[in-house]
Amino acid sequence: MKKATRSLTSRQSPRTGPVLRVAVRAAAGQRSRGWLIAGTQIIPVALGRGGILANKREGDGGTPRGTFRPLRLWWRADRGPRPRTHLPIRIVGPDDAWCEDPASRHYNQPIRRSANGEGDRLMRDDHLYDLIVEIDHNTRPRVAGRGSAVFLHLARDNFGPTAGCVAMTRPNLMRLLARLGPKTKIVIG
């Protein structure tokens, strides 16, 4: 059994299908706070400390403006039940990380790393990455320095700004996951 425990197929939500469009907007007067609208759901979100930026750069703290698609859900199986979603699911393991080094050929891709290796470790002590929706920001083509590891994930308790991601509470992300599919457009800005 090579990777059967690492990759799972998607599970369909019996009540509703995926939404076709999700919109993310900044809140008036608060560039690091905003709203995510998915059908009739309106969800408060934390955004990057730099707000929504059209010219996203690595390390600027900005959430990228644009239209993206969700690729898959990364899930900490040790931190909660398997979410209902139309997305493919991958279990987060102790060696999973994300390459944020623009000089690396693996830039803005998942990587395997040792305890002392580089990269943004996905198995964190806090709960921010218990559920991660990987989106296709800066993937085709990948451009060094244009931003990496931009996800939808869980928010900090104080709803503090992210490094460029879109973050929300666990209950809201769980509800959103049931409505996301590979064809959903995530429009930020």
CATH number of 119's domain: 2.40.440.10
Q: What are phi and psi of 137, to 5 degrees?
A: -70, 130
> Does residue 80 fall inside a structural domain?
yes
> Does residue 141 fall inside a structural domain?
yes
**β-pairing verdict for 185-188 and 21-27:** parallel
Separate counts of helices (H) and strands (E) for the chain:
1, 16
d(CA 161, CA 32): 5
Q: What does each of the 189 residues of the chain score in pLDDT, given as a tens digit? A: 333 333 333 344 445 689 999 999 999 999 999 999 999 999 999 999 999 999 999 999 999 999 999 999 999 999 999 999 999 999 999 999 999 999 999 999 999 987 667 778 999 999 999 999 999 999 999 999 999 999 999 999 999 999 999 999 999 999 999 999 999 999 999
Range of the domain at 46: 20-188
Q: Over the range 2-17, which residues count as b (16 or more CB within 10 Å of their CB) and which as e?
A: eeeeeebebeebeeee
> Does residue 9 fall inside a structural domain?
no
CB 185, CB 64: distance < 8 Å = no
> Does residue 28 fall inside a structural domain?
yes
> Does residue 84 fall inside a structural domain?
yes
> Does residue 170 fall inside a structural domain?
yes
> Does residue 13 fall inside a structural domain?
no
The total domain count for the chain is 1
> Does residue 47 fall inside a structural domain?
yes
Bridge partner list, 64:
53
